[in-house]
Amino acid sequence: MSGNLYSLLARGFPADPTRHAFRPPGSSAVSYGELEILTARAAAGLRARGVAPGDRVALQVEKSVDAVVIYLAALKVGAVFLPLNAAYTEGEVDYFLKDAEPAIFIQDAQAFMHAAQDLPPDPQVEPRAASDLAAIIYTSGTTGRSKGAMLTHGALAANALALHEAWGFSPDDVLLHALPIFHVHGLFVALHCAFLSGCPMVWLNRFDEAAVLERLADATVMMGVPTFYTRLLAHPGLTREVTAHMRLFISGSAPLLESAFEAFEARTGHRILERYGMSEAVIITTNPLDGERKPGSVGFPLPGVDLRIGGGQETGVIEIRGPSVFSGYWRMPEKTAEDFTPDGYFITGDVGRLDADGRLWISGRAKDLIISGGYNVYPKEVELLLDEQPGVRESAVIGVPHPDFGEGVVAVVEGRGDEAALIAALRSRLAGYKTPKRVVFVDALPRNAMGKIQKALLRQTYADLFR
Ligand code: AMP
């Protein structure tokens, strides 16, 4: 049997081809039968343009059903899918195109599908080995060159099957999909779970809290980034009633505040299931579907994942090995070699610890570690205390150049308050070297499309605070 991921996903499609795959608001639903025909036409379109197995297919478009169809068609013809954020500028895209050398670069999904509509649907699924590449995902690195994580058919298939099982997906589910699809979360995690169970998706092109609340009644599962949840919480329409029939709320791609977890439970009765993943391995750990979901922890490694803490201390850099781990950075053999241990573990760059039960607790990125006066400061420890203070919605603790200490600890706080009072409150609970020397208040912390706080940008903004 072919190891092509498309074959695996298509086996999950429902026997009844009239069942809905996509339910976009304001336009008609697309059934699974239609999805298969559209994909077969798009595959014919790719082949007609000379796309051969192993070629890259680059796509930079707004979210749409057509974009998903092109993704599936790329898999089907054995090409390597390369999604690009629609927000990337020409200069940024130029780098990706030179680096990946795609055979085709699609910037208008609708026009591509229009051109393919008269082609006979191509039923052939290109045979692929598990070790053949299915996609390249460029990391959203904020410093240095962005790296293309190479993911194979086998890696994506293994992760899809593990998540489908771990989160209990069934044909009775309806997934609310409001995530972008240029990133592993919306593209692989969400779509694959839906396809493997042949269930419909409520398909929103972007997250809008009012639209989500309106459509929750039709859904059973929602996947989101933490900002989805904080924005829902800020809306009076989030109630126990509108979420009553929901089976599961999942969060990831950035840390979920414990306060958000608790507020969500108080308002709706649902305990959000938090999981941890990255472009280089898709999903790595998850809180349990049945069993206790602990706020602040990202749960247990998925079956087949070996996870350990490097460095010989209780808290250190998370290292992983397992079926979904990527096979290296595209055309960067040296960078790839640097990021793997001699015994084959990927060095994630995230810092964390495992508790006695085997749950993982993440304390931030290694590169966000602050060294002040020779002492290590883990930003998360300070952020957790700050987030408990009145007036603080969320905080980001960074190190910036300091003439005496090398780096000085700075807290950037989303909210309102008094700098001196906040510093005094922290000083009573933290060692002096960990206590922020300055607190800056902002209306909104800078975040990327996945809701991640951009600490590199904050370090730049406040680089001169002590100079
Ligand atoms: P990306 O490759 O863009 O998906 O970013 C992956 C990074 O997001 C990880 O290396 C983590 O730093 C962070 N991340 C993802 N999920 C979580 C989570 N649940 N808690 C904390 N950090 C997370």
**Mean per-residue pLDDT pooled into runs of 10, the chain (467 residues):** 92 98 95 98 98 98 98 98 94 94 98 96 97 94 78 98 98 98 97 98 97 96 96 97 97 95 98 98 98 98 98 96 98 96 97 98 93 91 94 96 94 96 95 96 94 94 95
Task: Give nearest CA residue, ligand 1 atom 23.
Answer: 254
Task: Give nearest CA residue, ligand 1 atom 8.
Answer: 253
- What CA–CA distance (Å, rounded) separates 350 from 361? 10
Q: Which residues of 346-377 are buried (b: 16+ CB within 10 A; e: fewer)?
A: bebebbbebeeeebbbbbbbbebbbebeeeeb
Q: Give the closest residue to 166 by CA, choosing from 278, 280, 287, 272.
A: 287
The answer, yes or no, to whether any atom of ligand 1 lies below 6 A from the CB of 253, is yes
Question: Would you list the domain boundaries of the chain?
Answer: 5-360, 369-461
The answer, yes or no, to whether any atom of ligand 1 lies below 6 A from the CB of 254, is yes
The answer, yes or no, to whether any atom of ligand 1 lies below 6 A from the CB of 379, is no
Q: What pLDDT, on a 0 to 100 scale, did the predictor assign at position 142?
A: 52
Torsion angle, alpha carbons of 303, 359, 254, 283, to 10? 0
The answer, yes or no, to whether any atom of ligand 1 lies below 6 A from the CB of 387, is no
Q: Which residues of 226-235 are buried (b: 16+ CB within 10 A; e: fewer)?
A: bbbbbbbbee
Q: What CATH number matches the domain at 369-461, 3.30.300.30, 3.40.50.620, 3.40.50.1980, 1.10.10.10?
A: 3.30.300.30
CA of 423 to the centre of ligand 1 (A): 29
Task: Give nearest CA residue, ligand 1 atom 20.
Answer: 255
Q: What pLDDT, on a 0 to 100 scale, did the predictor assign at position 460?
A: 96
How far is C-alpha 368 from the chain's CA centre? 19
- What CA–CA distance (Å, rounded) separates 380 from 395? 9
The answer, yes or no, to whether any atom of ligand 1 lies below 6 A from the CB of 351, is no
CA of 244 to the centre of ligand 1 (A): 29
Indicate which atom in ligand 1 lies nearest the CA of residue 279: 2
The answer, yes or no, to whether any atom of ligand 1 lies below 6 A from the CB of 320, is no
Q: Give the closest residue to 396 by CA, choosing from 379, 381, 419, 415.
A: 379
- What CA–CA distance (Å, rounded) separates 363 from 106? 39
The answer, yes or no, to whether any atom of ligand 1 lies below 6 A from the CB of 278, is yes
The answer, yes or no, to whether any atom of ligand 1 lies below 6 A from the CB of 74, is no
Indicate which atom in ligand 1 lies nearest the CA of residue 185: 4
Indicate which atom in ligand 1 lies nearest the CA of residue 137: 2
Indicate which atom in ligand 1 lies nearest the CA of residue 226: 19
Give the number of other Cβ atoms within 10 Å of residue 185's Cβ.
24
Task: Give nearest CA residue, ligand 1 atom 4.
Answer: 278
The CATH superfamily of 5-360 is ANL, N-terminal domain (3.40.50.12780)
| Two structure tokens written together for 448 | 């990327």
Q: What pLDDT, on a 0 to 100 scale, did the predictor assign at position 144?
A: 65
The answer, yes or no, to whether any atom of ligand 1 lies below 6 A from the CB of 139, is yes
Among 452, 453, 455, which residue has the most ligand 1 atoms within 8 Å of its CB, making it the best to mutate?
452
Among 147, 188, 253, 367, which residue has the most ligand 1 atoms within 8 Å of its CB, making it the best to mutate?
253
CA of 452 to the centre of ligand 1 (A): 8
Indicate which atom in ligand 1 lies nearest the CA of residue 364: 12
- Residue 130 in contact with residue 154, Cβ under 8 Å? yes
The answer, yes or no, to whether any atom of ligand 1 lies below 6 A from the CB of 285, is no
